[in-house]
Amino acid sequence: MRIGFIGTGIMGRSMAGHLLAAGHSLHVFNRTRAKAEPLVERGALWHDTPGDVAAACDVVITMVGLPTDVEEVYFGGPAAVPTGQGIIDRARTGTVLIDMTTSSPMLAERIAMAAGARGLEALDAPVSGGDVGARNAALVIMAGGDRETFARVQPILGLLGKSITHLGPAGAGQRCKLANQVAVAIGMVAWCEALAHAQAGGLDPAAVQQVIAGGAAGSWALTNLAPRALAGDVAPGFMVKHLLKDLAIARECAAATGIDLPGLATGERLFTIAAEKGWASDGTQVLYRLYSPSEGLRQRSSSPRP
């Protein structure tokens, strides 16, 4: 098939590479062309606008950074995409649009409505698994939109992920991903505090990590991100600033439904502190640095309550 891929960053580059390796004709656009060059060297076709990609393809996948970026590539916008050069402006009737960015459920619904009005089909299909999942084609994919459309493109999604689930109508994939991000944030705080507690008690946190990762406290992050943190490796598989974006959307959606999520509030507060320290573009595992003696978080957090 002729597949367009817009957004060839940390995760998108690997994801697009799997489609190319499977023999599909790959058409690419990225705001910074240099990030797409490795794919072009392998045979992908470069286009100057998202609209040009859409006009050439049967399926268009987007994997960009922020909801504002999603809005620009789909509808056009002054910052990066000329008016009339958005995906929805140029896509041909019957084209399937798949946004795999973590974004707003309301924006996903808006895209689906605009796509339907032009004879296009749209899915929101955000992913979990970070850079490791993207490289290994082992992402967890959660989709919203028409079930028949989902079934048609499931073989394509199967090249990118190991777990692919249809959750409901437009926006359902994004709502599931927000639930995932709430769990991610709280889980990150949990293993950071567990290992900081162990180290403060005189234990080797690396040894403790290996022990508890195999028990009831085990998680993907404890297994994959905690060793990076302990080694001082904060290279981003998923950036702090992007998690904060997701948590802000989750908080807004929670407020709209009238639910109080104190764990989410704690996670958002701690990652905000990390961003304020200049770590916004580091991987989320940098949170563990907050618990080092030099940062003083342990002393402040452990102060007795009045």
Which residues form the catalytic set? Answer: 177
What is the number of alpha carbons within 13 Å of residue 21 lying toward its C-beta?
A: 12
Which of 170, 55, 175 is CA-nearest to residue 122? 170
- Helix H segments across 122-261? 130-135, 147-157, 172-200, 205-212, 220-224, 226-230, 240-257
Write the CB contacts of 266 (distance below 8 Å, at least 6 apart in sequence).
Answer: 186, 189
Give the DSSP H or E segment for 12: helix 12-21
What would you measure as the largest C-alpha separation in the chain, in angstroms? 65
CB 28 within 8 A of CB 40: yes
Which of 29, 139, 38, 1 is CA-nearest to residue 86? 29
CB 103 within 8 A of CB 124: yes
Full 3-state SS string of 93-147:
CCCEEEECCCCCHHHHHHHHHHHHHCCCEEEECCEECHHHHHHCCCEEEEEEECH
Which of 48, 42, 45, 16 is CA-nearest to residue 30? 48
